[in-house]
A and B are shown apart, each in its own frame.
Chain A
Amino acid sequence: MTDYYQAYGTVIALVIAGIALVVVAFTLNRLISPKRAYGAKLTTYESGMDPVGQGWSQTHIRYYLFAFMFVVFDVETLFVFPWATVLGNTEGPQGFMLGVMLVFLFFVSITLPYEYKKGVLKWV
């Protein structure tokens, strides 16, 4: 258990060091850089023209269907990882483990050709 806290203590220390480095960089930048902001400088960059409309423009996110599929397949990948770790070095029924996983993978994977056939994987 101490090993556990020790290991994750290391990584927490690393995160804190990283944040400190970034904060120091930003502070240094603020201290040594000039500050002469005026209206034209603070406008949104639009290739030298006056910006047209709101910055948060309405965009059609075409990939929202892909995002649903991403969730499905990402969860599937998550199920694969623990199986992958124990498959090679277990005393258990490996053949059964493999068969079960293959059936699961197949059931999830069959959605991909189905979606392809439905035309969901079309970008434009």
Chain B
Amino acid sequence: MDWLDVLIIVAVAVGAFALWLVGTALLIWGERRVVAKMQSRVGPNRLGPAGLMQTLADGAKLFFKEDIAPANADRWVYLAAPMVSAVVALVTFAVIPYGGTFTIGDRQISLQVWDPDVGLLWVLAMGSIGVYGIVLAGWSSGSKYPLLGGVRSSAQMISYELAMGLAVAAVFIYTGSLRASDIVANQAGTLFGPIPAWHVIPMAPAFVLFFISAVAETQRPPFDLPEAEGELVGGFNTEYSGAKFAMIFLAEFMNVITMSAVLVTMFLGGPNGPLFGPDIVRAVLPTIYFVVKVGIFLFVFIWLRATLPRLRYDRLMDLGWKVMLPFALLWVMATGFSVVLRETTERATVIRAAAIGAAVAAVLFFLAPLFSRRASEPGGGGGDGGARPLDDPRPGGEALPERAGDRPSTDRPTEEVGV
């Protein structure tokens, strides 16, 4: 470790920084142009070629805007929230390899700022901390709409974080490592014929789960309820202005790029691709592959925004808890089973374990109704097949604590907008 090593790390970090910042500027411009095209509008086209400079102009403009903190706001938290969002967004991408490895002199340089053992868990951890930025921004504004936006954001996080974590866990089982570079290396070569060994093929369900969770985690449409313009003015960022607003937006778009990059790293081989030509081309090609793959995902994110209407809140929670979470759990079990079958020499042991597991599962499944008090009552549930709602006025209803604020009647409105 001498000064040259430090210099290399700094250069790689600055490279990643530049890639992500330029990417953010291009993403904001691209989003406005693409959505405009899809809606038969023109979009920003004045500043620079095809309006490319528009983002820079908008960013610069925000710095000249007055920095207003509403009198009602909690001053310090109000200041800290955009800092949390921005700092988290700026450090998350450190673990993502954005290019290949090449040699200069006698030193091996890999285009990845930080390759820790915890690997992609870093991305999950930072994603969870990033939610604090939004919740605190909503709370500290001292205003109703931002508060609702913050509350929604945390509800969304607790619903989709699980499916995301389990989808990632399935990839970890398959790879046997949490390290980003190992995951990329595991996808090198071909599966069969000309088809690359990208995880998207064997791990297709995990890919779908992760993609949906990624859209929800970055709060992009159709999951953009925390900042639903039609309902909450601007959601958690309503009261922000000037550089603080710029930072919140920077963080949001950077997170979109980071999530696309994580998708590419985990499921589409990261910077892998066919290499050819002289050394200099070989050094640059992986970065180009990476940028192109990320660009495709960014386009899909924009496309979703232009196409899909916003989900209703109860449907959003239903999707997370009733569809994605059970599916993710099943997929983790299935992946574990297939990996052990692939690796182990004692197939009989595995099959015996599976049989015991299935037997335990079956026994529990049939015993489960015994634990329900209602099943032992004559004429109680069981007959009607489904569960009665919590606040069922009929005698013998469950003794779970009633939720405050629930209506006493059983005909529940479904169109109510909750938080």
A: which residues have CB within 8 A of B? 2, 6-8, 10-11, 14-15, 17-19, 21-23, 25-26, 28-30, 32-37, 41-47, 51, 55-57, 59-63, 65-67, 69-70, 73-74, 77, 80-81, 83-89, 93-99, 101-103, 105-107, 109-110, 112, 114, 116-124
Q: Are A88 and B162 in contact (CB under 8 A)?
A: no
Q: Are A87 and B233 in contact, CB atoms less than 8 angstroms apart? A: no
Q: Chain B contacts of A98 at CB under 8 A?
A: 336-337, 340, 350, 353-354
B202 contacts partner chain A, Cβ-Cβ < 8 Å: no
Task: Pick from B64, B145, B176: contact of A87, CB below 8 A.
Answer: B176
Q: Are B332 and A55 in contact (CB under 8 A)?
A: no
B228 at the interface (CB under 8 A from A): no
Taking CB atoms, residues of chain A closer than 8 Å to B162 are 70, 73-74, 77
Q: Does B188 contact A (CB under 8 A)?
A: no
- Which residues of A are found within 8 Å of B398, using beta-carbon distances? 118
Contacts of A33 in B (CB 8 A): 63-67, 242
Q: Are A10 and B336 in contact (CB under 8 A)?
A: no
Q: Which residues in A have their C-beta under 8 angstroms from that of B147?
A: 55-57, 59
Stretch of B153-161, B262-270, B301-309 with 4 or more beta carbons under 8 angstroms from chain A? B153-161
A10 touches B86 (CB 8 A): no
Contact B166 A80 (CB under 8 A): yes
Q: Bound state CA distance, A118 and B90, in angstroms?
A: 43
Told that A15-B91, A22-B87 touch, could you supply 15 new A-B pairs with CB distance under 8 A?
Answer: A14-B114, A15-B87, A22-B82, A22-B83, A43-B70, A44-B141, A45-B70, A45-B238, A55-B72, A55-B144, A66-B159, A70-B159, A95-B344, A106-B361, A119-B387
Complex partner residue of B360 from A70, A103, A117, CB under 8 angstroms: A103
CA–CA, A67 and B144, complex, Å: 22
Contact B91 A88 (CB under 8 A): no
Q: Are A30 and B142 in contact (CB under 8 A)?
A: no
CA distance A62 to B13 in the complex (A): 43
Given contacts A96-B349, A124-B414, contact A29 B1 (CB under 8 A): no
Q: For A56, what are the chain B residues with a Cβ–Cβ distance below 8 Å?
A: 139, 142, 147
Q: Is B148 an interface residue (CB 8 A)?
A: yes
Can you give 21 contacting A-B residue pairs, CB < 8 Å?
A11-B91, A14-B90, A33-B63, A33-B65, A43-B70, A44-B144, A45-B233, A45-B238, A55-B143, A56-B142, A57-B144, A66-B159, A73-B162, A84-B172, A85-B172, A88-B173, A94-B350, A96-B349, A98-B337, A118-B390, A121-B317
**What is the CB-to-nearest-CB distance from A78 to chain B, in angstroms, rounded to a whole number?**
8
A118: chain B residues within 8 A (beta carbon)? 387, 390, 398, 400
**In the assembled complex, which residues on chain A have CB atoms less than 8 Å from the CB atom of B114?**
7, 10-11, 14
Give the size of the chain B interface in residues (CB under 8 angstroms).
106
Query: Of B212-220, B276-284, B318-326, which binds chain A?
Result: B318-326
Cα A122 to Cα B404 with chains together (Å):
14
Partner of B68, one of A42, A55, A65, A119: A42
Contact assessment for A123 and B314 in the assembled complex, using a CB-CB cutoff below 8 Å: yes
* B356: Cβ under 8 A from any A Cβ: yes
What distance in Å separates the Cβ of A116 from its nearest Cβ neighbour in chain B?
7
Contact: A32 with B169, CB < 8 Å? Answer: no
Q: Mark B175-218, 1 if CB is under 8 A from A, else 0.
A: 11110000000000000000000000000000000000000000
B257 at interface, CB cutoff 8 A? no
Contact of A44 among B148, B239, B242, B412 (CB under 8 A): B239
A114 and B86 form a contact (CB under 8 A) = no
B53 contact set on A, CB distance < 8 A:
none
Stretch at the interface among B30-38, B100-108, B243-251: B243-251
Contact A87 B246 (CB under 8 A): no
Tell me if B132 counts as interface (CB < 8 A to partner A): no
Question: A105, B9: Cβ atoms under 8 Å?
Answer: no
Residue in A2, A7, A14 whose beta carbon sits within 8 Å of that of B116 in the complex: A7
With a cutoff of 8 Å between Cβ atoms, the chain A residues found around residue B141 in the complex are 44, 55
Cβ-based interface call for B389 (8 A): yes
Q: Give the top 6 A-B pairs by smallest Cβ distance, nearest first.
A: A99-B353, A88-B176, A29-B243, A95-B349, A55-B142, A123-B314
